[in-house]
Structure formats: structure tokens, C-alpha cells
Amino acid sequence: MGLLSDPSRRKVLTGLLTRLNTPICIVCYLAGIVWFMGLAFEPFTLRTYMSENAMGSTMVSSGERALSLAKEFDAHKRQAYDGMPVEWLVKAMQSRGLEVFTQSFSRKLPFPDENKERYMVRGTNVYGILRAPRAPRTEALVISAPCSPGDSNNQAVGLLLALAQYFRNQVYWAKDIIFLVNEHDLMGTQAWLEAYHHTNITGMEYSPLQGRAGSIQAALSLELSSDVITSLDLILEGLNGQLPNLDLANLFYAFCQKLGVLCTIQGKLQRNDWDTAEGYTHAAQTMMLMVLKQACGRSWGDHGLFLRYHIEAASVRGINSFRHYKTDAATIGRLLEGMVRKLNNLLERLHQSYFFYLLPSLSRFVSIGCYMLAFGLLVVILLLRALDLWVHLGAPALAAVEGVTEAQQPSGPGVLTVLTPVVISHLTGVALYLLPVHLQEMAVEHFPVSETEAVVLTAVAIYTAGLALPHNTQRLLSGEGTEQGWKVLKLTALLYLAVLLGCTALINFSLGFILAVTLVPITASMTPHMPKALSALVMVLLSPAFTVLYCVFIYQELIEAPVSVSEGWMLFLSVISQGILDHALYGSLVYPLLALFIYPCWLMFWNILFWS
Amino acid sequence: MAAHRCGLSLVFILIFSSLACHSSCDSLENANEDTEEKQSVSDTPREVNSDGSIAAEDLNERRGRSTDAELDRRDGTRTSEALTPAAAARDEFQEELVIRPLHSGDIYASFQFRTLWDTDFLQEGQKVSHYRLFPKSLGQVLSKFSVRELHISFTQGFWRTMQWGQPFIPSPPGAELWVWFHDTVSDVDGNWKELTNVLSGIFCASLNFIDLTNTVQPSASFKPLGLGNATDHRFLRYATLPREIVCTENLTPWKKLLPCGSKAGLAVLLKSEKLFHSSFHSQAVHIRPVCQDEQCTSKAWELRQTLNVVFDLYTAGQGKKEWSLFKMFSRTLTEACPLATSSKVYVDITDNPEGELFELSPATPLLSQAVVLGDRRTYSVFDLTRAETFGQLRSLNLLLRWKGDGGEMLRPLLHAERYVAGFGLQTGEIHTVIYNNHPYRAFPVLLMDSVPWYLQLYIHTLTVTSKSRDNKPSYIHYQPAKDRHRPHLLEMLIQLPPHSMTEVTVQFERALLKWTEYTPDPNHGFYVGSSVVSALVPSMVAMNTNFTQDQPLFSSFVPVKEESSYFVRVYTEPLLVNLPTPDFSMPYNVICLTCTVVAVGYGSFYNLLTRTFQVDEPSLPLAKRLANLIRRIRGVPLLT
């Protein structure tokens, strides 16, 4: 640091940085984007490998009864008017020698969920515990199958029961195995997990569990949509972008290879032609899908909620799409048996492999050390701009010291000038966070809309109303905004944004990166001296809400279901309502992050644009 | 061991072999004993002050030593009168097997072997070196460490009270050891340490991992089960090793303690490949002083070896609901142990009075009734000392064939379970739930919790609630932990309302261990031993208080003081708790490295941000300064 403590050399360095600031920033931004896109290029990624020694090779052999059980379950489900046939399940599990318990739960949603058509939710979870012989009830594995209305997941329940029967007759279990059939997909899992750990994070009402089996080491969730399964899809993205240990994915991949089952991730098969443009595009699409799914912070399967409790979990979804290839239930049973057996062999929790990774394909991964650089290159722009501003702010002061004894120049704008916009933007953020849910009744009374629409439209209205703030803020200020005033405000805002994005990326890289890609260019370049109308348009188009909108379109494009603008708009609205619901029901943090921090931060820059 | 049939000669061959085995230890131990004797001699003057009977003691001691010597000499030459005839006749050995078909379809087999040793070496301070049926290795341990009572159990698996009911002798998963020392012992901790190490060798177990950090002195939960009414818990030590894995290597030394080994009698059934192919396996050794007769004129040492095993219907029975001795143990019975005074097999047929539940063959006319755990049970008895038991095939292979479903079991009156609540690696909460299933009687229970120091209990958060109301314990004994020295001990007397669920919760914080204190598999988690619930549960039938009356072994382990209640001990499951664990692999080094770099960088940056730097004007040489002085006086501009 001798370089910096020598004032003359420091002057040279800062001079260089301020002079070349804009080119450096542009280079950094482009390098960041290119680096990120390069992550999907196969030669730059690592091959996945099994880190856990305890999961060595195991011989496995399984159930043919799954389909008939599924049909029986289906029949009983119909008898129960599409609800869960609790009694039949209890009997079925008991007859297979499990200790069976039920748990009922109920929850009133903050507003009706129109996607899944539910408001007052009442349900029952049924779970059976297979007690491992000579084990002291300290460790357990969970296999869960959501029981949803319609006949979408009956095969999974049938397979679950067949597995239970097969497992019960084996002698090699060292951990108790819990077979969980949960109603109302994620809500059932949430209620069960909260009861198992005796916590209450989301205000759900549930009955306490009667039987437990120690600390859960790993969980697998099973979703089979039809009788004919052509491929299995692995879903890893959990709540708040948490991912399970990479060894779980490796385990799944290894068994798929062994049994010759087609396996996909993000619904995309693996390709071997990485050196062609199509091969690269395919890998990039797969990775982008993972980034988008992770960024949205919701749980993409039942497994996602387990991750909060430090339980490694993944969902396996059976898909019927590649028509020429069929996998029978017995093969899937063998696959699951193999996975559970290997998890059973674990001496420690899965911890050897990576927890932070991106997957361009099932056999390739990008570790945190590689992808963080892309984000770092973007965030360093904010710091460089902040340094530039700092130097500019310091320069007149230096001049004053050197030269003429002018009458005490205000050493900087008053604290008030900076603080007022910060406080007002954050109050808007709080309003955006609180009001939509709390004002829904009023909105429904005065406007002809449903409750869900009321909530979403209130959110959009508050968001738009925030744009009018700068003019009001100026009126509140006592004096004129000075040149130094906006510079100090911008310096604060830049550092604030850098810290915010940095913290977000540490927890959820994808979210941090996506926000950085859109927010960094406008925030880095914004000054009050730019053409107002044009820059305002650019700012709005790169605001957090529009980022979400673009993500919706890109996601639809990537899953090969492109939508028109109006459909996209409807999807955007439902994404907002889902975000608010996820926050209320499962404690997802993306909506509060956007409403309470990112949006106010963006508003501060909006303020700078309209600084007068 | 070819001489099975002639009992007496066998005794001596056994003794010889054990002597031969232990001769090397003997020499060591003799040395120890010599020093002990010296101590005792030096102690005697002090005792004189109180008793004034130095002469008598001296005489006694000498006589003891001379008889010792005599006995040793006689061992080689003569056979039957090794001890005084009366004493020899009163050493006895009993063996018994109880088979209880459980409602769940599983089957519970409980072995009990009881050796009575008619001697009282601790009281008289005399040295005993003659062992007839009693294993010498244990006898020496008892005398060397002045043990009054010793209970040790090794268990693999968890007793499922809700499916199986109460076991005859309960035990927690892993290893459990509790010892009452004689009140003459001055250095209890030292004795305890040595004793655990010796037992570790005898039973081939990791008992040497018992140290002060997992030893407690319960004040009320563990009372002596034998003679004597010691209440001073300074002489009690209790420790569990929940992680201990029990296997064949622990079974073999346990079998060797039996007079007949595994060569004859019930012990032939103890084949490890079957015993460890079960749902639950527990073996234990209990040593305590007992009365020989009703008036308690003479005392004896009782060694009880118990082995409990539960066979699983599904995995072992291959789905067929049929049990036989051969299927369970891959052996049949052909004879009793020739040294045993009684050798019996009991089959619980209480739930099957007319044979509608299962069919038992061969049928036996012998029935026995016993009051066990507050319930009157009926048993079919097979007396192995009688030739007709074995029938024409000269072998007994009991066969149980299920007819109907097991049906519902009565819920056990007392039941407890435990779990860790919360998530994350900072805090947590231990929940202990105790169920009283008695429809109208309330009864008190003693709850004992021993929690390792690395879970820092917040004792102010302790709550006891029954029926959603606060239930204040009438007695609380809490000994806080000392980091790295001793565990928490929490004992409470709680009144359980009838038909209720009582929940005891206490919060804890997970300590950050030093990096050498982690186990080799830190991500597995750390074990917290079972909590112990001891209670006098109201009995449905009058209990048998006559302790000395001839009754089956399984019903006579815990002395019953009053008719209206019986003693039950319930162990909860052990807990597996994750502590904050560093990543002990390469990234850990990376973290250390980056932390160092950041720390260094931070220092310099802080320096830069908080200080202002100015170019230092070099000070003028002396000549110039002098010149300036003159110039100032002259009023001429100064030099620079």
C-alpha cells in the first residue's frame, strides 16, 4: 500500500482512474457479461464428480406393484371426492409395517391464489416411518410424494407405497425412512416441516406430530405425472435460491447412467456437441433457465422447503415428452432404491461437494469461484464510479485549502438534502411492501376487481406513484439542490447499491447478477445533466419491475413456450402475486428485498435524474 | 471342555482355566493389593480411635490370609471342600428365557442368568481368591475398586415402548454404566476412571471414553437396587455413551462370564449371527449385594446377566407369521446347563388363553403366574432340568404359529420421547414429552437429563407444561456445566396429571468448539444421551412385595416396596445435534488465507482513509538556519 500512501503517486493513480473511468467501466461491464456467457462453454466448466466416499458402489435390485397400487390409490382418491384418501393411506401404510401418523393443518391465505384456486386451505399429511433395525432413532431420510387434486401424481404415491413395502423387508437400513404423502403440495410440506422442527415461521396452524425419527439427513420428493414416463427431470432450485449439495445431483446422474434412464435438468437433455454453436446455445439456455429459476427465489418442488432446515433435498419429476423412449415404474423404483440406499450409507450429512454452483448440463458444473468473477466485474463499476465521485467532491476542497481565502464555502450539502430523498424513497418501499395486502379490502370495495387483482394492481400503482416523488421531494427541501448535493446523494446511492447487490449475490447469485446487469449501467451513468425525457425512459425500462417483466419473457422463450405481449403482462401480474404469496406462505425473501431495498435504491437514482 | 457331564470336575477345570488366563494379571494385581494392604494397615490406628478393636481386626486379617493360602494349596489337591461345605452349597446359578409374542407380530426374547456368590468380602475386608461360579475377572474388579453395585448395559437399537410395551429391564441406546462405590472410598473419581478402563478391557467396548465430561452424579434417579440404603450420591457415578455400537465383540466376553459359557444350557442359543439380525439387541450385567434368605442373616453377591432381543416379523420371518427357537436362534435346546439349579423357558400366553391368537407347540401342562410390571401374566413353563421336556427327539424346538392379527395393544402407562426443535446452527430447544396414559391416576416421575457442555443450556427458559398449563416441578436439582469439564445435570420431580402429556422444554445455544475438539466426522453431529424417566407407576394388580419368595427371575429384578405401584424406568431416544462446523477441507484454508489478506488490506485502507498525508519539508541544514537568523534580524527575506 506504499503506492497509495505516497501522495504524489496517489495523485497520479487517481488521475488515471478518473480520466479512464468511463472506458474502464465499459470494459468491466462487457467483460462481466462475456465471462458469464462463457460459463456455459464446456471447456471452461468442470466435470461433476462424486465427492462423498461413503456413497461408493452399491448393488441394487425393485417393485412391480407400483402401478396397481397407483390405480388403487386413484380409485380411493375418487371416492374421497378428489381429496386425500387418508384412511386408505393409513391402512395401506400400516399393512406394510410402517408406524403411521397423520397431521392436519389449515391456513388462510392473505388473498386468494388464482393460479391454484385456493384461499382457505385445509389438509392432512399422512406419513409412515420405517424404523431401521437396531438404530437409535437419531437419523432419518424422507421420501415424499405430493398428493394433488386430479390424477396428476397418483403414480408417485403408488410407487412410494411399493417402495415402502420393498424397503420394509430389507435388513440394511441404518437410518429410519419417512414416507410422506403431503396434501396441497408445498403447504403440506411446510406444515409438516414446521411441526417436525416445532417452529412456526409463517403462522400456519397445524396439529403437532406424534412420531419423529431424529434429525433428517436428506430428502427426495417424487412427482410422476403420467403412467408413461420417458425421462426423469431433476429439480434443485429451492426457496430463496438455495441449492442442495451437488453430490445429490451427482448421485441422481450416476444412477440414471447406470440404469440407462434418460435424465434431464431444466427439462433439457444433455448434448455432446459442445463445439458447435447449437451445442453451446443449448448449454447456455440450460444455464440461463437455472439462473432465472434460482433468481425468482421460490421453491420449484417440495424439496425446496427442506433446504431451510439444512436437509439436502431434490425433486425427481417424471416427464412424458420424448415419445420414443419409455421407462417403466420398476426402473424408477430401482433408481430411487439405489439413491436411498446410498444416502442410507452416509456417515455424515452431505457436505463434501459444492453448495454453490450452476449447471449448464447434468454432467458439468460451474463452481462459485468461477461465476462470482462475472458478478465482481459488474459491481466493481459501481465502486469505480463512487471513487470518481469522491475524487471530484474532494477536488474543490483541496483548491480551497491551496488558494484564496474565500468566505466559508459550504463544506458540503446539508445532511438534510441527502437524507430526505433516502428516507422518502424507503418510505415508498415500505408502502410497496405493506399496502397491497393490507389495502385489498378497501380496493375491492371501490373497484370492480377480484382480491388478487386488487393486490397486484395496488402494487403496480404504488410502484408507478413512486416515480412522481422527485418533484415532491424537491418541494420539501428548503433550498435549491446544489451540484454537490446530487454528487453526495449519488455517491451514497452507489455504495448502497454495491453493498446491496454484493450481499444478495452471496446468498442468491442469480438474483444479484440479474439485478446488476440491469441496474449497473443506468446507475453508473445517471446525472441530472442528461436529456431528461430520454434518460427517464431508459431508467424506467431498466427499473426492477421491468427486469422482472423481461425475465418472464426470457423464461417463456427458454422453455419454448413464447407468449404474446398481453399474455406476458398477465404472467407478469401473476408473478407478482406469486411473489407476495411465497413471502407470506413460505418466507421467500425476494419480494421484500425488491420492495424494501432495491426499489428505493433505484428511486434514489431517479431522484438524481430530476435533481434541480 | 470334554467333561460336560460330571459337574464338579467341570467346575474346577473352569477355575483352572480362568486362573491360567488371569495369571499374568494376577501378578500385577497382587502388587496393587499389597500396597492396598499397607494402606489399610496404616489406616487402622485411626480406626482404633473409634472402635478400639485393633487386635480383633488384625487377627481377622491374618486368618483371612491364612485361609487364602490354605485354599490355594487345597485347590490343587482336593476337590469338593474348597470352601466350607455350607458356603459351597449356597453358590448357585439360574438361567431362564422368557419369550413374549408382541402385538406388532414381533417377538421378544429375554435371557436372564443369575449367579449368586455367597461371600461378603467388602464388609470384612478379607481377600477372596476363590471363585466357583462367579467370574473371577468381575470379582477382582469388585474388590479392587470397592464397588458396591455395578450396572452396565450395551444396547443396539431403541426400545419401541408404543409397540412393544415395557421391557423387563430397560436400557438406553449405546452403553450405560452406573456404579455405586462403597462409602469407604476416598478418591471416587480416580476409582471410577480406573474402573471404566478395566471394564473397557473386559467387555471390549469403548468405555474408556467415559471421563469427567460425560459423568454425572444423579441425586435421586439412580438408587441402589441391592442391599444397603446408601443415599449419598457422592459415591454414585453415571455415564452413557450413546454413540457406542454393540456387536459380536461385546457379546463374546459377555458370554464368557457365564459358568457354562455358550457350551450348554440356554446360552447355546446366543449365536451372534442371529442375535444381531434383529430389531433390538441389548445385553447387560448387573452386580449387587442381596440377601440370601428372608431374615437377611447372610449376604451374597448377585450377578445378573441379561440379554434382550426383539426379532422383526417382516425381515426375519420372511412374511410367514411363524416363530420357532430354531428360526430365531438357528439352534434348539437339548439340555440345561449342568451347573444350573434351575433352567426354564417361559412363554407369555396371557393374551392367548384359549389359543385363538397363536398356537404353541409342544404344549406344556406347566403354567406359572407372575405379576410383572403391574400386570398379572400367565406363562407356559418348560423346565429344562427335566428330561421329559425334550421329548423323544431329545431336543426342544418351541414353535409359535400365529392365527389371527395381533390386535391393539394397551397403551403403556408411561411413555416418553424427545426431540430437538428449531433450525439453524445457533440455538435450539430440547423438548421432552412425557405421556401419562393412566385414565384417572396422577403420579410423580423423576426426569433426569445429562446434556454435554457444548450445548449451553439456558436454564431460565426451562418450562414444564401439562395440559397447556404451567406445571411447577416440586424438586429441581440442576448442576450447570463447566466448559470442557463436566456436563449439565438436570433432575426434576414432576407430577403427571392423569391422561396427560407433559412437555419439558429448555433452550440451548450451540458452542463453537476448538478445532481439535471436533470428532473425525464432525458433520455427523454430536450425540446427547437419553434422558431417563423413573417412576413408581400405579399398578393395576397387587404387586408381590415378598422379595425372597421363589419367583421367576424376570419379575424380581427391581425390589417392590409396596403393593400398589411398581417401578418403571423409561429412556428417551438420544439426540443427534449438529454444531457449527468449519469446512475441514481445502476451502477452509482458502477462507483462512482470504481472511488474512482482508485483514492486512483492511489495515492499510483504514490507514489511508483516516490519515492525511503531506509532503514533509526537509529541515534546513544548520548553516542555513543560522543565516536565516541573521537575515531575520536584518529584515532581509529568508532563505528556503
pLDDT digits (tens, 9 = 90+) for B279-304: 999 999 999 988 877 677 778 889 99
Candidates B343, B200, B198, B214; CA nearest to B266 is B343
Query: Of the segments A124-138, A316-330, B92-106, B626-640, which one has the largest average pLDDT value?
Result: A124-138
ipTM above 0.95, yes or no: no
Per the DSSP assignment, residues forming a β-bridge with B344 are: B96, B383
pLDDT at A259 exceeding the cut of 90: no
Q: A1 and chain B: CB distance < 8 Å anywhere?
A: yes
| Pairwise CA distance, residues A490 & A468, whole Å | 19
Per-residue confidence band for B515, with pLDDT thresholds at 50, 70 and 90 = confident
pLDDT at A67 exceeding the cut of 90: no
Q: How many residues are listed for chain A in this entry? A: 612
| Pairwise CA distance, residues A232 & A224, whole Å | 9
3 state DSSP class of B379? strand
Q: Cβ separation of B613 and A136 shorter than 8 Å?
A: no
Strands B92-101 vs B342-348: parallel, antiparallel or unpaired: parallel
Q: Do the beta carbons of residue A287 and residue A359 sit within 8 Å?
A: yes
Residue B156: CB partners within 8 Å, gap ≥ 6?
A134, B173, B245, B246, B247, B276, B280, B281, B282
Per the DSSP assignment, residues forming a β-bridge with B345 are: B97, B382
* First vs last C-alpha separation in chain B: 114
Give the DSSP per-residue string, B189-210.
Answer: HHHHHHHHHHHHHHHTSGGGG-
Give me the pLDDT at residue B63, please.
38
Per the DSSP assignment, residues forming a β-bridge with A231 are: A319
Candidates B573, B428, B509, B577; CA nearest to A198 is B428
Which B positions 282-321 lie with beta carbon below 8 A of chain A? 312-315, 319
How would you write A230-266 as a 3-class SS string?
CEEEEECCCHHHCCCCHHHHHHHHHHHHHHCCCEEEC
Per-residue confidence band for A338, with pLDDT thresholds at 50, 70 and 90 = confident
Q: B272 and chain A: CB distance < 8 Å anywhere?
A: no
Q: Which DSSP state fits A85? A: -
Nearest by CB to A131, from B160, B319, B417: name it.
B160
Per-residue confidence band for A82, with pLDDT thresholds at 50, 70 and 90 = low
Which A positions 532-551 lie with beta carbon below 8 A of chain B? none
Q: How far is B417 from chain A (nearest CA, A)?
A: 9
Q: Cβ separation of B524 and A347 shorter than 8 Å?
A: yes
Q: Do the beta carbons of residue B423 and residue B484 sit within 8 Å?
A: no
Strands A99-113 vs A118-130: parallel, antiparallel or unpaired: antiparallel
Q: Cβ separation of B417 and A310 shorter than 8 Å?
A: no
Angle at A221 between CA A216 and CA A222, to 5 degrees: 145
Q: DSSP strand E in A411-476: where?
A: none
pLDDT averaged over every residue in chain B? 80
pLDDT at B478 exceeding the cut of 70: yes
| Pairwise CA distance, residues B78 & B84, whole Å | 13
| Phi-psi label, residue B188: left if phi above 0, alpha if psi -120 to 50, beta otherwise | alpha
Give me the pLDDT at residue A326, please.
75
* First vs last C-alpha separation in chain A: 40
Candidates A11, A402, A15; CA nearest to B613 is A11
Which chain B residues are closer than 8 Å to A51 by Cβ?
none
Q: A584 and chain B: CB distance < 8 Å anywhere?
A: no
Q: Do the beta carbons of residue A458 and residue A447 sit within 8 Å?
A: no
Closest-approach residue (CA) in chain A for B605: A1
* Cell 451445442 belongs to residue: A279
Q: Do the beta carbons of residue A269 and residue A238 sit within 8 Å?
A: no
Residue B638: CB partners within 8 Å, gap ≥ 6?
B628, B631, B632
Cell numbers placing B629: 537568523
Q: What is the pLDDT of residues A557-594, one digit of tens each?
A: 998 888 888 999 999 999 999 999 999 999 999 999 99
What global pTM score does this model have?
0.85
Q: B85 and chain A: CB distance < 8 Å anywhere?
A: no
Cell numbers placing B197: 478402563
Closest-approach residue (CA) in chain B for A174: B157
Q: DSSP strand E in A168-248: where?
A: 176-183, 205-206, 215-224, 231-235
Q: Which DSSP state fits A317? A: E
Helix axes A415-438, A469-476, angle to 10 degrees: 140
Q: Cβ separation of B573 and A214 shorter than 8 Å?
A: yes
Q: Phi then psi for A456, rounded to 5 degrees?
A: -65, -45
Cell numbers placing A168: 420394509
Dihedral sign, CA of A394, A398, A401, A406? Answer: negative
Q: A135 and chain B: CB distance < 8 Å anywhere?
A: yes
| Pairwise CA distance, residues B584 & B572, whole Å | 32
Which chain A residues are closer than 8 Å to B417 by Cβ?
212
Q: Do the beta carbons of residue B185 and residue B146 sit within 8 Å?
A: yes
Give me the pLDDT at residue A77, please.
65
Which chain B residues are closer than 8 Å to A171 by Cβ?
277, 315
Closest-approach residue (CA) in chain A for B319: A169
Q: A138 and chain B: CB distance < 8 Å anywhere?
A: yes
Q: B503 and chain A: CB distance < 8 Å anywhere?
A: no
Cell numbers placing A211: 412420531
Report, as an integer, the average pLDDT of B373-399: 84
Dihedral sign, CA of B22, B24, B28, B30? Answer: positive
Closest-approach residue (CA) in chain B for A346: B524
Q: Do the beta carbons of residue B502 and residue B471 sit within 8 Å?
A: yes
Q: Cβ separation of B613 and A170 shorter than 8 Å?
A: no
Q: Do the beta carbons of residue A285 and residue A265 sit within 8 Å?
A: no
pLDDT averaged over every residue in chain A? 85
| Pairwise CA distance, residues A208 & A198, whole Å | 8
Q: B279 and chain A: CB distance < 8 Å anywhere?
A: yes
Closest-approach residue (CA) in chain B for A306: B423
Angle at B226 between CA B223 and CA B229, to 5 degrees: 55
Per the DSSP assignment, residues forming a β-bridge with B113 are: B95, B305
Cell numbers placing B171: 436400557
| Pairwise CA distance, residues B54 & B404, whole Å | 72
Q: What is the pLDDT of residues B38-85, one digit of tens each?
A: 343 333 333 333 333 333 334 344 333 333 433 343 343 333 333 344
Which chain B residues are closer than 8 Å to A217 by Cβ?
none
AA identity, residue B478: Y
Q: Phi then psi for B180, rounded to 5 degrees?
A: -100, 125
Report, as an integer, the average pLDDT of A200-223: 90
Report, as an integer, the average pLDDT of B348-376: 80
Longest Cα–Cα distance of chain A, Å, equals 96
Give me the pLDDT at residue A61, please.
53
pLDDT at A469 exceeding the cut of 80: no
Q: A574 and chain B: CB distance < 8 Å anywhere?
A: no
CA A588 to chain centre: 8
* Cell 404472467 belongs to residue: A571
pLDDT at A403 exceeding the cut of 50: no
pLDDT at A38 exceeding the cut of 80: yes
Which chain A residues are closer than 8 Å to B502 by Cβ?
none
Q: Cα dist. B101→A100, A417, B348 in Å?
A: 21, 84, 7
pLDDT at B608 exceeding the cut of 60: yes
3-state helix, strand, coil in chain A (%, to 5): 55, 15, 30
* Cell 400366553 belongs to residue: B349
Q: Which DSSP state fits A42? A: G
pLDDT at B229 exceeding the cut of 90: no
Give me the pLDDT at residue A528, please.
83
Which chain A residues are closer than 8 Å to B601 by Cβ?
1
pLDDT at B540 exceeding the cut of 90: no
| Pairwise CA distance, residues B72 & A506, whole Å | 78
Report, as an integer, the average pLDDT of B496-500: 92
Q: Cβ separation of A134 and B583 shorter than 8 Å?
A: no
Per-residue confidence band for A66, with pLDDT thresholds at 50, 70 and 90 = low
Which chain A residues are closer than 8 Å to B419 by Cβ?
198, 212, 214
Give me the pLDDT at residue B113, please.
93
pLDDT at B601 exceeding the cut of 90: no
* Cell 423323544 belongs to residue: B392
pLDDT at B31 exceeding the cut of 70: no
Q: Which DSSP state fits A109? A: E
Q: Which of A137, A207, A305, A390 has the most B C-beta neighbours within 10 Å, making it the best mutation to test the interface with B?
A: A137
HSE of B537 in the Cβ direction (CA atoms, 13 Å)? Answer: 24
Q: Cβ separation of A7 and B577 shorter than 8 Å?
A: no
Q: Which of A91, A134, A391 has the most B C-beta neighbours within 10 Å, making it the best mutation to test the interface with B?
A: A134
Q: What percent of chain A has pLDDT over 70?
A: 88
Q: A137 and chain B: CB distance < 8 Å anywhere?
A: yes
Q: Cβ separation of A4 and B608 shorter than 8 Å?
A: yes
Q: Which of B107, B507, B573, B617 has the most A C-beta neighbours within 10 Å, making it the best mutation to test the interface with A?
A: B573
Least confident of A29-33, A43-47, B549-553: B549-553
Q: Cβ separation of A352 and B585 shorter than 8 Å?
A: yes
Q: Cβ separation of B578 and A215 shorter than 8 Å?
A: yes
| Pairwise CA distance, residues B490 & B480, whole Å | 8
**A72-92 burial code (b ≥16 CB/10 A, e <16):** bbbebbeeeeeebbbebbbeb
Least confident of A11-15, B16-20, B396-400, B433-437: B16-20
Q: A170 and chain B: CB distance < 8 Å anywhere?
A: yes
A-B interface: how many C-beta pairs under 8 angstroms? Answer: 105
Q: A7 and chain B: CB distance < 8 Å anywhere?
A: yes
Q: A270 and chain B: CB distance < 8 Å anywhere?
A: no
Instruction: Kindly report the number of other CB atoms within 10 A of residue B439's CB atom.
Output: 8
Higher local confidence (pLDDT), B487 or A7:
B487
Q: How far is B278 from chain A (nearest CA, A)?
A: 6
| Pairwise CA distance, residues A546 & A554, whole Å | 12
| Pairwise CA distance, residues B148 & B290, whole Å | 11
Per-residue confidence band for B363, with pLDDT thresholds at 50, 70 and 90 = confident
Candidates B182, B98, B35; CA nearest to B350 is B98
Q: A527 and chain B: CB distance < 8 Å anywhere?
A: no
| Pairwise CA distance, residues A329 & A162, whole Å | 10
Nearest by CB to A136, from B163, B422, B573: name it.
B573
Q: Which DSSP state fits B530? A: P
Which B positions 409-448 lie with beta carbon below 8 A of chain A? 417, 419-425, 429, 431
For chain A, what is the radius of gyration of the CA atoms? 28
Angle at A20 between CA A19 and CA A22, to 5 degrees: 110
Cell numbers placing B448: 433426569
